[in-house]
Amino acid sequence: MNKIIIFKLWGDYAHFKKFYTTTSPLTFEFPPPPTLFGIISAIIGLDKSEYLDYFQNPADFKLAVKIINPIKKVRWTENLIDTKQHFWRIKNRTQIRTEFLKDPAYLIYFSHNDSLIYEHLNVNLQKHQSVYSVCLGLSELLANFEYVSETKIKPATSSQEINLQSVLPESYLNDKMSISFEGNREIFKINYPILMQSDRIVNKREDILFERNGKPIGCKLKRYWETEQGEIIVFF
């Protein structure tokens, strides 16, 4: 896989629920890999009950995320209703305070060993069409997407500090002192689900570092990839 597809993904609002929040749901700052697998599968039409089967082996795919817009969060109360009753008979309502992302936008870098998945996605992105509706975490939060390019990538290593454009899984760091906080960078670390089975059991989690405003992260890494356009990224 020396080629990847790059596409933009954005919307008015998004909610990617953090696994440890229940009565007052909080959101991740960018879509976790299992969510992105669902979005890609919606574009190409993979069945929702089995699409995760195509994303179990990290050797089969490459996936990276770049934050474009600064992370902004808002909260409001949702009025949830009991849908087991006919609408005019509904009496039970539950108000839930929920956190949302405002104006989220990302660049997605993706490749897959399965040529049918790769080519189908490439074609549908260029045509700006999807088999199913694309949303940002919840069905009410519709997303838009735009094909950017198909580009070659090459692996690289360096003992020098590099400016990383994508979010950063902590396992790529040489050590915990390999991060630069200069230049008014706002760097956070959150634990994300990385791999998930079709029965929604998470097989892998990892701490991910990201810059809240979408600025590059100055860091020293064990390895990374460089695109033809000179962007430096790492994959989940």
191-225 pLDDT, tens digit each: 999 999 988 899 999 999 999 999 999 999 999 99
Cα(155)–Cα(185) distance, integer angstroms: 26
- Residues of the chain short of pLDDT 70, as ranges, are 1, 83-90
What predicted TM-score, i.e. pTM, was given to this entire model? 0.92
Tokens of 26: 């909080």
Number of domains, the chain = 1
The per-residue pLDDT for 77 is: 84
The per-residue pLDDT for 86 is: 66
Contact 53, 198 (CB under 8 A): yes
Query: Which domain, by its residues, includes 148?
Result: 3-233
The per-residue pLDDT for 87 is: 62
* Alpha helices (H) along the chain: 33-44, 115-127
Contact 66, 104 (CB under 8 A): no
Cα(170)–Cα(191) distance, integer angstroms: 10
The per-residue pLDDT for 76 is: 87
Domain with residue 102: its CATH number is 3.30.70.2660
